[in-house]
Every structure is written in C-alpha cells, then in structure tokens.
Amino acid sequence: TQLAAQYISKPQKQLCETVLKYFDRQYSEELGEQWWNARDVLLNPLSWQYGVLLNRFSDLTNLKQCLAELGYTNLLQQTHPESHSQTADIPLQCFIHPDPVRIPTQSHHTGWLKQYYLLNAASLLPVLALNVQEGENVLDLCAAPGGKSLAILQTATPGLLHCNEVDQHRHDWLLKTLESYVPPSLRHLLSVTLQDGRSIGTMQPGAYDKVLVDAPCSNDRSWLYTPDTHRGEMWLKERTQLPLLQKELLCSALAAVRPGGIVVYSTCTMSRAENQSVVEEVLASYPGVELQELEQQFIDSLSDHFCFAHLHPSVGQLVIPQKGKTWGPMYVSQLKKIY
C-alpha cells in the first residue's frame, strides 16, 4: 500500500456571515467561553482533522504500518491501554493524526472492498455508546450515507443490521457505501429500507436490541459555509422545525427497541434545542425510559482526544472542536427502555 498524507490546500470555503452571527448569539449564550474556542476551529477549515476508520473486512496488509509511518496513531489504543472495557475489546480501529492532514479517499470498484473510510472521529462516539454485542438486532434509523452503519459493523457482527433512510438519493448512496465495505458473505445480515423513520416504531414495536438515531440536524460545520445568504436564512428558519422531527424519530426508536434495550440519540450540532431539550422532552413524555450516563471511565479514556463540553443541565455528552482537538461537534445521549 502506497499512501501520502497531505495538508488541505483548497481555497477557503465561503463563510456565511448570517449564519455566523446567529451562531454567535445562540452559542455564546448556551456555551459561553467554550463557543469562542470552537468558533476559531470552525472558521478555519484548514485546521480540521480527519479520522481513518479501517475496514476489518478488507485486506489491510501494510496499511497500519503505512499510517504509523505517516504519524497516525490508533484512537482507541494509544493512551490508556488498560482503558475501559467498552473500548478495550472491540475490533474497531480508527487512526488519527495530530495535524490537519488527510489521505485520499478510495474509489468504488465492483468486487473490491475499500480499506478505510474518512470521518470526523467524534462520529464514533454514538457507535461506541451503542456498544453492540455479537448477534444483536440493531436499527440505524437515519443511516445515509452509512458512516455509522459501517462503524457498527467494525465493532461487532450483529444478528441483523437494519439501515433505514427516508431520502431516495441518500438511500442509494447508503447502498453504495455498504457495497464498498461489506463482504458479500455478510450482506445477508443487512436490511436496507427507504422509509420515514417515524413510522418504524409502530410497524416493528420492540423488535430491536439497540437503535441508533443519528438525527437530521443543523450541521454546524457545513451550515457556516452555506454558499449564499438566502439559503443560510432558509436553513435558519427550517432549524426551528427540527426539534419536532427529532423528538418524533426518538419516540419511534424507543417504540422499536425491546424492554431492556438501548437507544442512542446523536446529532452533529451544538444546539441545545436539538440536543438536551429533545432528550428532556422525550424523557418527560415517554413512560418507562431512563437516561443512562456514559461511564466516566469511558469519557476519560477519550478525553485526550475529544474535548467534552460542560453542559448545563448535564443531559448527554457534547464533543466540541478545540484547537488541536478539532473533532466534533457531536452530541450523544443514551437512553434505556425499562418497560
């Protein structure tokens, strides 16, 4: 395997001042000082880091060695070898670099499995929180383009992985991702559907051991670079509609999980209305569900790389980008269905 890691040298993306002003107002109020540090990273795309998630189903000969020679290290192994059981035993391997470099993406070839998937390493947090065990039935309610479905398959071999997506174009993209990374011998474990996730809970109540709701949200990173002001303004209007959709998706997930099962809710925004408030409102209205705290040891084992925000109230965990730890934003909350 020949690999080269390069600094991004593309021209700066076009910043949308309308969105920035809005974020300044909202996030300085919600996050205080933490927002201004995150802002420095978000406004400097040339500082963004990229994680390399290895595909355990492909031929990885020489790849790890090449990554090590380029200065990459394994996110889950390096600092706390004695670390938490939730991260110590899983086969998932994600390599990260201290600098904002990236290796090229691999192109799709029929009959060949890609070796790695580039991602924001904080996206692994919801997958680790889901903690899928061998043979479990798992639903990825909002799955396209498939990064987290893929990461789930790197942690364990479920009995069933149901990947759902509502948008036709993104559904097709999801299919292509799965085809590029999952060997034909495992594809019988996958079920890919094109449905509104809000209806799956009533259609398949109690059918799953684990459900991931990686909800549609205001994607802070990309919204800041909305190409035109008009679109930026439209997004900000649409933003007010998102919490309702997110609550409905989360309720559907809770209906779809069996008693004793786990639902993980995640977004890639820092917005309190789309994060803590969604979870609090669902907890208040949905009987028999309790909030699970992610174990402190688990958080500690990742804190060398991820900057966890101090949330008030403390519902879930939020990774916010910081200089040198540019991963996130990523919000994660874990819910357990008791009955």
What does the alpha-carbon distance between residue 96 and residue 84 come to, in Å, rounded to a whole number? Answer: 19
Query: In the complex with ligand SAM, which residue's Cβ is closer, 30 or 165?
Result: 165
167 binds ligand SAM (CB under 6 A): yes
Give the 3-state DSSP-derived string for 90-138, with helices as H, strands as E and coil as C: CCCCEEECCCCEECCCCCCCCCCCCCEEEECHHHHHHHHHHCCCCCCEE
Query: In the complex with ligand SAM, which residue's Cβ is closer, 66 or 126?
Result: 126
C-alpha distance from residue 300 to each of 78, 152, 279, 293, 303 (Å) = 13, 22, 23, 13, 5
Residues 194-213 that bind ligand SAM (CB under 6 A): 196-198
Backbone dihedral angles phi then psi of residue 289, each to the nearest 5 degrees: -125, 135
Of 51, 147, 232, 328, the one binding ligand SAM (CB under 6 A) is: 147
What tokens appear for 290 in the block?
A: 């309790």
Select from 130-138, 145-153, 180-188, 230-238 the region that touches ligand SAM (CB under 6 A): 145-153
Of 38, 41, 166, 262, the one binding ligand SAM (CB under 6 A) is: 166
Backbone dihedral angles phi then psi of residue 37, each to the nearest 5 degrees: -70, -45
Give the nearest distance from C-beta 198 to ligand SAM in angstroms: 5
Nearest residue to 157 (alpha-carbon basis) of 125, 129, 124, 132: 132
Longest dimension (CA), the chain: 54
Binding mask 216-235 for ligand SAM (x = CB under 6 A): x-------------------
238 binds ligand SAM (CB under 6 A): no
Catalytic residues: 268
Name the packing angle between helices 17-31 and 229-239 (round to 10°).
40
Residues 2-31 that bind ligand SAM (CB under 6 A): none
Binding mask 110-129 for ligand SAM (x = CB under 6 A): -------------x------
142 binds ligand SAM (CB under 6 A): yes
261 binds ligand SAM (CB under 6 A): no
Give the nearest distance from C-beta 99 to ligand SAM in angstroms: 24
Binding-site size for ligand SAM (CB under 6 A) equals 19
Nearest residue to 17 (alpha-carbon basis) of 236, 329, 250: 236
Give the nearest distance from C-beta 146 to ligand SAM in angstroms: 5
Query: In the complex with ligand SAM, which residue's Cβ is closer, 5 or 116?
Result: 116
Residue ranges binding ligand SAM (CB under 6 A):
123, 141-148, 164-167, 170, 196-198, 214, 216
